[in-house]
């Protein structure tokens, strides 16, 4: 399993589905662990009743059916599918509405779904917020810059309440997967893809309410991940390329040109004494 | 049973990997490195090194060159073609030394190797490969350029067709990869008194620099423009999302819905 997970961590993100399928074929005995430990882009389903799309994950699944966050009905139909308690369902509905607005403001399109459930130990509750955006020219991309553009965010929050101190303990684990290919035909394909997972824990007053608290945490986390990917991670790939092939004629202390020049100068100085 | 399976799989996978990644192996006679490419492949385990006019025998799985022998005449180009090949190779080595730290290169004659003076066209294939793998720094990457150069001495032209492919990988607590490639076409005049090799490599150097600049531009647009197609840094309002207001909005919507349901 460790070798398999190692492989999954290094595969080009755009081939992760293929890699997973291959590993599942090689290690059928480990299939459930492989599926639960590796992240895959989110799949979409359609709720005819509400004329809305929703996202699929383990948390809205019962057997082979998935529950819509809008109608709370399973597709394919299930007679006794798992349902959240009325209280949690109310929170779930509110969360779906509010996150839809959040999603619109940050993503200018895309699909979001929130699922809420009670964890096995019965204490507090858990929620997952899923956001999927297709930013390609053929999808929701507004500026025509991307031939391919996929963003999948999976946030899982575990919430415990301390009623006495009126404080909530929120533990957030977030994964973002993205893949983009620019559409500039003249300069050839330029593709970046990646995934990162981070965790955040926070103790917040219960006063603003769970939705606000979770929302702010997720917003903060998404910004961190977006900036991290953009500046740190993509920046590192740029560093790798520019180390493989240096821009010529550019003098810097570490470039080949710079170093050669440095040696020449030092030599000259030594000889001119 | 497992051992046999591994050997079988390795025998198939390693040669493909080695050639695709253009690995270079140390030649045991101390004459330098041999680049494993499809252009120099004589058979599954023998590769031509045009620079030393020798054939390297390799063990793909161990990634080692086991033997070096002088190449047969039939595997080498005519003296006429070799003159051009040598000149391009000399200029290329200087360029690669300057621009690609740790990079390797080779020039093969891939068409018309028996052509003599005024005997028509012939094709040289220029290959550059630079890769770096640093697992402890969680990074790796590879640059490959393949330039097909069709030389017509009568018309005094060299027509270049090149493909540059780059990939870079960074995976410290995450996994991010870049894949990029570009094709180029250009024709240059071979002037009297000017070394053909220098002229040709000069074009290659220029075009590869153009590619590098376009990569630079792509990266600089990333944060503020390209990424926006996926997710903005902030909403259009330039402030964080108003969670409390949104809640009110959603409650209002619910009340309205309840109201309209009761009618």
Q: Which residues have a Cβ under 8 Å from the Cβ of A160 and sit 6 or more positions away?
A: A123, A124, A168, A169
Q: For A2-25, how does the pLDDT look when each residue is reduced to its tens digit (9 = 90+)?
A: 788 878 877 777 777 788 888 888
Statement: residue B1 has pLDDT above 60:
no
Closest partner residue to B241 (CB to CB) among A149, A219, A246 is A219
The answer to whether B13 faces chain A, any CB pair under 8 Å, is no
CB contact under 8 A, A226 and B244: no
- pLDDT at res. B244: 87
**Distance between CA atoms of residues A226 and B169, nearest Å:** 18
% chain B with pLDDT above 70: 94
CB contact under 8 A, B169 and A10: yes
The answer to whether B249 faces chain A, any CB pair under 8 Å, is yes
- Which chain A residues touch B253 with a CB distance below 8 Å? 97
Q: At how many degrees (to 10) do helices A234-244 and B196-221 cross?
A: 170
- Which chain B residues touch A142 with a CB distance below 8 Å? 229
Statement: residue B49 has pLDDT above 60:
yes
**Distance between CA atoms of residues B94 and B96, nearest Å:** 6
- Which chain A residues touch B98 with a CB distance below 8 Å? 248, 256-257
% chain A with pLDDT above 70: 95
Domain residue ranges in chain B: 3-73, 77-230
CB contact under 8 A, B178 and A237: yes
Task: Tell which B residues from 89 to 128 touch A, by Cβ distance under 8 Å.
Answer: 98-101, 103
Q: For B118-137, how does the pLDDT look when each residue is reduced to its tens digit (9 = 90+)?
A: 888 999 999 999 999 998 99
Nearest chain B Cα distance for residue A273, angstroms? 30
CB contact under 8 A, A211 and B243: yes
Q: Does residue B41 sit in helix, strand or coil?
A: strand
CB contact under 8 A, B180 and A222: no
% chain A with pLDDT above 90: 60
CA distances in angstroms from A56 to A70, B14, B39, listed in the order given: 13, 39, 48
- pLDDT at res. A185: 74
% chain B with pLDDT above 90: 76
- pLDDT at res. B262: 55
Q: Which residues have a Cβ under 8 Å from the Cβ of B214 and sit 6 or more positions away?
A: A187, A188, B182
Nearest chain A Cα distance for residue B180, angstroms? 4
- pLDDT at res. A23: 84
Least confidently predicted of A69-83, A259-273, B174-188, B236-250: A259-273
Place of tokens 């531009």: B217
- pLDDT at res. A270: 81
The answer to whether B130 faces chain A, any CB pair under 8 Å, is yes
Task: Tell which B residues from 168 to 197 touch A, by Cβ distance under 8 Å.
Answer: 168-171, 173-183
Q: What angle do CA A28, A30, A36 make, to 5 degrees?
A: 120
**What sign results for the dihedral spanned by CA atoms A216, A221, A222, A228?**
positive
**Distance between CA atoms of residues A221 and B118, nearest Å:** 69
- Which chain B residues touch A234 with a CB distance below 8 Å? 176, 178, 219, 222
Q: For A27-61, how does the pLDDT look when each residue is reduced to its tens digit (9 = 90+)?
A: 888 877 777 677 789 999 999 999 999 999 999 99
DSSP state of A25: H
Q: For A188-201, how does the pLDDT look when each residue is reduced to its tens digit (9 = 90+)?
A: 899 999 899 999 99
Give me the interface pTM, i.e. the ipTM: 0.88
- Which chain A residues touch B219 with a CB distance below 8 Å? 234-235, 238
Q: For B193-238, how does the pLDDT look when each residue is reduced to its tens digit (9 = 90+)?
A: 789 999 999 999 999 999 999 999 999 988 888 888 999 999 999 9
Pick the residue from chain A with its C-alpha nearest to B104: A244
The answer to whether B246 faces chain A, any CB pair under 8 Å, is yes
Pick the residue from chain A with its C-alpha nearest to B103: A244
- pLDDT at res. A188: 85
Q: What number of C-beta contacts closer than 8 Å exist between A and B?
A: 213
Pick the residue from chain B with its C-alpha nearest to A260: B98
Q: For A216-232, how does the pLDDT look when each residue is reduced to its tens digit (9 = 90+)?
A: 999 999 999 999 898 88
Pick the residue from chain B with its C-alpha nearest to A105: B235
Nearest chain B Cα distance for residue A141, angstroms? 5
- pLDDT at res. B45: 94
Do B3-73 and B77-230 agree at the fold level? Answer: no
User: What is the arrangement of strands in the sheet containing B64-70, beginning at the earlier edge strand?
Assistant: B41-43, B46-49, B54-59, B64-70
With bands split at pLDDT 50, 70 and 90, how would you rate the model's confidence at B15? very high
Least confidently predicted of A114-118, A265-269, B106-110, B215-219: A265-269
- pLDDT at res. B253: 64
- pLDDT at res. A20: 83
- Please give the class, per CATH, of domain B77-230: alpha beta
- pLDDT at res. A19: 84
- Which chain A residues touch B214 with a CB distance below 8 Å? 187-188
Pick the residue from chain A with its C-alpha nearest to B254: A94
With bands split at pLDDT 50, 70 and 90, how would you rate the model's confidence at B258? low
- pLDDT at res. A250: 63
The answer to whether B214 faces chain A, any CB pair under 8 Å, is yes
Closest partner residue to A10 (CB to CB) among B171, B205, B216 is B171
Q: For A165-188, how does the pLDDT look when each residue is reduced to its tens digit (9 = 90+)?
A: 999 999 999 999 999 999 877 778
Any long-range contacts for A103-108 (C-beta under 8 Å, 24+ apart)? A103/A131, A105/B232, A105/B235, A105/B236, A105/B237, A105/B241, A106/A222, A106/B231, A106/B232, A106/B234, A106/B235, A106/B241, A107/A131, A107/A133, A107/A140, A107/A151, A107/B230, A107/B231, A107/B232, A108/A140, A108/A142, A108/B232
Any long-range contacts for A44-47 (C-beta under 8 Å, 24+ apart)? A44/A111, A44/A132, A45/A75, A47/A71, A47/A73, A47/A75
Closest partner residue to A240 (CB to CB) among B141, B213, B229 is B141
What count of residues does chain A have? 273
- pLDDT at res. A71: 95
Domain B3-73, CATH: 3.30.1140.60
- pLDDT at res. A183: 81
CB contact under 8 A, A247 and B139: no
**Distance between CA atoms of residues B155 and B190, nearest Å:** 9
Pick the residue from chain B with its C-alpha nearest to A259: B98
Q: Does residue B3 sit in helix, strand or coil?
A: helix
């Amino acid at each position: 399993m460790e070798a398999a997970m190692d492989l999954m961590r290094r595969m080009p993100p755009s081939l992760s589905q293929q890699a997973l399928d291959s590993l599942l074929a090689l290690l059928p005995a480990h299939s459930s662990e492989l599926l639960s430990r590796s992240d895959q882009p989110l799949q979409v389903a359609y709720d005819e009743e509400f004329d809305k799309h929703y996202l699929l994950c383990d948390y809205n699944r019962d057997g082979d059916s998935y529950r819509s966050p809008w109608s709370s009905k399973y597709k394919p139909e299930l007679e006794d599918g798992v349902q959240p308690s009325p209280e949690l369902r109310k929170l779930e509905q509110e969360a779906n509405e509010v996150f839809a607005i959040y999603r619109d403001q940050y993503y200018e399109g895309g699909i979001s779904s929130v699922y809420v459930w009670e964890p096995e130990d019965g204490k507090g509750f858990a929620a997952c917020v899923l956001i999927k955006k297709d930013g390609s020219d053929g999808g929701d991309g507004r500026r025509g810059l991307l031939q391919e553009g996929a963003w999948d965010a999976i946030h899982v929050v575990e919430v415990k309440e301390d009623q006495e101190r009126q404080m909530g303990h929120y533990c957030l684990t977030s994964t973002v997967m993205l893949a983009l290919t620019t559409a500039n035909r003249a300069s050839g394909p330029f593709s970046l893809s990646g995934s990162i997972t981070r965790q955040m824990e926070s103790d917040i007053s219960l006063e603003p309410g769970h939705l606000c608290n979770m929302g702010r945490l997720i917003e903060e986390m998404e910004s961190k991940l977006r900036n991290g990917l953009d500046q740190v991670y993509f920046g590192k790939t740029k560093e790798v390329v520019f180390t493989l092939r240096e821009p010529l004629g550019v003098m810097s202390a570490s470039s080949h040109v710079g170093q050669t020049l440095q040696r020449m100068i030092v030599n000259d100085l030594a000889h001119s004494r | 049973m497992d051992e046999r399976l591994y050997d079988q799989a390795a025998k198939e996978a390693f040669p493909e990997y080695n050639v695709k990644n253009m690995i270079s192996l140390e030649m045991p006679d101390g004459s330098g490195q041999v680049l494993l490419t499809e252009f120099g492949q004589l058979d599954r385990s023998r590769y031509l090194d045009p620079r030393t006019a020798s054939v390297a025998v390799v063990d793909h799985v161990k990634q080692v060159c086991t033997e070096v022998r002088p190449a047969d005449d039939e595997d080498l180009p005519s003296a006429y073609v070799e003159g051009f090949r040598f000149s391009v190779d000399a200029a290329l080595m200087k360029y690669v030394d300057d621009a690609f730290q740790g990079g390797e290169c080779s020039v093969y004659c891939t068409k018309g190797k028996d052509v003599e003076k005024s005997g028509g066209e012939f094709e040289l294939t220029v290959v550059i490969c630079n890769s770096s793998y640093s697992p402890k720094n969680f990074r790796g990457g590879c640059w490959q350029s393949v330039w097909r150069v069709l030389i017509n001495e009568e018309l005094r032209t060299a027509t270049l067709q090149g493909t540059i492919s780059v990939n870079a990988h960074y995976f410290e607590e995450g996994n991010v990869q870049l894949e990029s490639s570009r094709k180029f076409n250009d024709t240059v005049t071979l002037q009297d008194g000017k070394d053909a090799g220098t002229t040709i490599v000069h074009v290659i150097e220029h075009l590869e620099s153009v590619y590098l600049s376009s990569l630079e531009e792509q990266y600089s647009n990333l944060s503020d423009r390209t990424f926006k197609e996926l997710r903005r840094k902030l909403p259009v309002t330039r402030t964080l999302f108003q969670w409390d207001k949104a809640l009110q909005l959603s409650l209002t919507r619910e009340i309205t819905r309840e109201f309209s349901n009761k009618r």
